[in-house]
Structure 1
């Protein structure tokens, strides 16, 4: 399976094995995620992808990256084709695949260069075992670092990035999910990629490779027992969230006001049930865009929501598109009370910080319109990135409670979590609108990220959608309540309020930087060996 020669040189898969391995790895990586959600498949998936790159020549490594990236991303992102057709799907898929190509090149070059340096410096045969073990460890650190580096760059560039499809995401419903509260998303990706890379390296000639693989398995078994980091609980909040089951997609046949009316009816039904059982809630959450356009400038709707708030004796947090004076718009969330928009020290308006390019705004409009005018013209509004802190303050429990807010894809960005907790969030609200993706895997993929975000921050999280998938999630990542997709209803639960930072939030950026530095070091070694022609 592994070719080599009597002359000391790195072992690698031949191209005719590397390419099928990379394809199988990409497909298994998708199956490890929702909808199939067979998370243990992530281990053979990453192993096959890394094996196709390990100590590989540049051409084969790039081609294997292309195959792995295409098989994963074009499958994983298929939900983009539901309404918009193949062009956006192919466009995003090509960009994400390009990152895999670069990762393949970097991993192949780094592992190959590290191997050459070690092989040139080996001396007595009695030191061979130590040299081989050290070689595998250094290669594995570099390979895992490059993986985390690619995820980090992909998550920030171009156009703000798209941190989707990370290794860490797979573990939301696994025993390893708790680790994200200790090391963060990048840290969890790095640890798991490192564990797999050790096994891959062991298969490429390490002395006593079976023992190394066994040690990795034992270590993973121990890590699976690690509990989530616990924070101080400062109280509990009775929260309700309304799923209107609205026709709220771009191409849905509806009249203006239908989405708003669905959530009014859903709230009235919730209040009827609460009053019938003698129950009450401290706050009610509506999804993204649930009040449609201009709630703050619509006296009739504003009055109607205020009356619902008065009846509930609780604020209602509402999603609405708001216009700016310069003709741009914000995708916003506002706190509404019995007298209208509420006031608080923390703030009662939040504008989405990470609007989605090619959906909520069109970058380089003239350029892309020349390529696909019909699709570009669908993006008629230009949403601006928000500048308010991503928190809401509202009156409950005899004081001001502070909730972190992440609108839709905000939840996938690590910086959003840091900003929410840094501004005092005791609980997290994640309103979203998944109607454009129908019954595809998009909403459950987003939910798995939200679940990990709850564990990472140590806070309960309310993920409420116009159509689903809607869940109230505890700080341990477990569901507290939920709704069936494409039904109107409300979730109600008592969730803990907490204070403080988990180790992931306190040190996660440092852990991420360390992994990225390891990846850059591996690339640096590859450049050094190339320049010195070693």
Structure 2
């Protein structure tokens, strides 16, 4: 007997799920890879490279990746963009202490970029979305510049534009307006491409959308060109001949106190060498001399030998010297600039107000000590903060002081100008970071500050790069790294205030409010859509 198998209706069986092909899987990774690589592209636009224009395609790709995304995807893509940008940008933070602090800093800072990604995705469906999205980015920078631990503004978009066409906008509204213009132009670039592809595909395009895309791309450039008259090197209050001293630092091989004494001696020696050149008529007599931060880590108020070294150098050059010292007063430690007169000795002081977390003071000391006691031993005593702006009176010249890390903070530079500074000095000590990109990133900040407030900016650094920057942001003189050298130049003194100086924080507040309005509108549209 033959048994016939019952027929099976295949339509009644559940359909087998086909596994996605490798090609499909790889395709899913494209947005993540694009986000990370566009972050790297943004990093490449920063100094020491002069490829400022790469910021535009970086934000164009970011706009493409985030547009229309849900908040979870946008959060992840924004974080990848932040990692791609900040990991290479901030690698110098691990030069001395290893990769732990560097990776921790980047991991935290990238969270701000991730939240910005969510905001950009939310507003990307609104009319004129590039405007809202650029404002969201600046709101993220505003938050990053304030929290945690008093903020970390390193990596503001404005600081990558010292060589760019947008730089004059710093004089209009400071770093927020300059950064906003760059980001807006980048998102506008993507929107122009998007609208162009839509027209090519359908031969139809909405004119308002096309107009907004084009304006987002073009208006920032036009505004920057229109702002150029705000940039001037005219000497409104005469000139001053300034000397910038770079004494250099000894390399390895000295114990702590010998190292500190050597740095002081090196700066005194370079000043005395300059004095001999002045006496020989090779260089003009300076009206005043600027030493770097930490040029005398030996307290001259407590150590007569250090005071004698500084006094001898001041008498040799025949001009007052601004000396960077580490001072202990009433049991507290201060990073202090001291105005040392050749006849009167110390006459004025300025205590650094924005001290650097994990470098000059240690937040969460007990927690960090439990993780690695080496880190706590490197900052064995916290520096205290000053409370008053620093403007030294050099007779005919009023010089504002923003010590090293302070150059990254808008308020710390601006209030020297509002308190009468006719030029600005940024004394720094970058020796710890060796030959990393840090010194060039910081030099670019000083160039932006020069244009922002239309002031000459000097940058005396222990080991380089020291520089003299004109009010238009150009570097007129600079030194090499890890060499002893000096710069002497007649520079313009200026007293007029740019719109950025007068407006202060107001442009940033306005852009934060625009960002909040755009995000609020996007949320309201989303809620209304779910109810329908």
Question: Alignment partner of 1:387: what SS?
Answer: coil
Q: Distance in 2 between matches of 1:217 and 1:510?
A: 24
1:458 aligns with 2:415: no
Residue 328 (structure 1) shift: 2.5
Q: Is the 8 A contact 1:232 1:500 kept in 2?
A: no
Q: Is the 8 A contact 2:48 2:440 kept in 1?
A: yes
Aligned counterpart in structure 2 of residue 196 of structure 1, from 162, 186, 210: 186
Give the greater-gyration-radius structure (CA).
Answer: 2
Aligned counterpart in structure 1 of residue 293 of structure 2, from 288, 293, 296: 288
Aligned counterpart in structure 1 of residue 268 of structure 2, from 247, 260, 264: 264
Q: Who is 1:74 aligned against?
A: 87
Q: Is the 8 A contact 2:399 2:422 kept in 1?
A: yes
Residue 163 (structure 1) shift: 0.7
Q: Who is 2:206 aligned against?
A: 207
Q: Distance in 2 between matches of 1:406 and 1:375?
A: 27
Aligned counterpart in structure 2 of residue 332 of structure 1, from 336, 339, 346: 336
Q: Is the 8 A contact 1:15 1:60 kept in 2?
A: no
Distance change >3 Å, CA 331–CA 175, structure 1 → 2? same
Q: Who is 2:54 aligned against?
A: 41
Q: Distance in 1 between matches of 2:187 and 2:130?
A: 5
Residue by residue over 1:322-341, the C-alpha shift from the partner in whole angstroms, topping out at 9 and shown as x without a partner, is 1121x321101010012343
Q: CA RMSD in A?
A: 2.2
Residue 457 (structure 1) shift: 0.8
Residue 49 (structure 1) shift: 1.7
Q: Who is 1:7 aligned against?
A: none
Q: Distance in 2 between matches of 1:154 and 1:220?
A: 24
| Deviation larger for 333-342 or 348-357 | 333-342
Distance change >3 Å, CA 350–CA 261, structure 1 → 2? same
Q: Who is 2:512 aligned against?
A: 516
Residue by residue over 1:357-381, the C-alpha shift from the partner in whole angstroms, topping out at 9 and shown as x without a partner, is 0110011211221122222221112
Distance change >3 Å, CA 232–CA 58, structure 1 → 2? same
Residue 307 (structure 1) shift: 2.8
Q: Is the 8 A contact 2:390 2:401 kept in 1?
A: yes
Q: Distance in 2 between matches of 1:426 and 1:307?
A: 28
Q: Distance in 1 between matches of 2:409 and 2:220?
A: 27
Q: Is the 8 A contact 1:391 1:425 kept in 2?
A: yes
| Deviation larger for 434-443 or 301-310 | 301-310
Pairing of 1:303-382 with structure 2 (within 5 A) = 303-325=308-330, 327-343=331-347, 348-382=348-382
Q: Who is 2:421 aligned against?
A: 425
Q: Which runs of 5+ in 1 are unaligned?
A: 1-13, 115-134
Q: Distance in 2 between matches of 1:22 and 1:465?
A: 36
Q: Who is 1:58 aligned against?
A: 71
Q: Is the 8 A contact 2:191 2:213 kept in 1?
A: no
Question: Alignment partner of 2:518: what SS?
Answer: helix
1:181 aligns with 2:178: no
Aligned counterpart in structure 2 of residue 484 of structure 1, from 480, 487, 490: 480
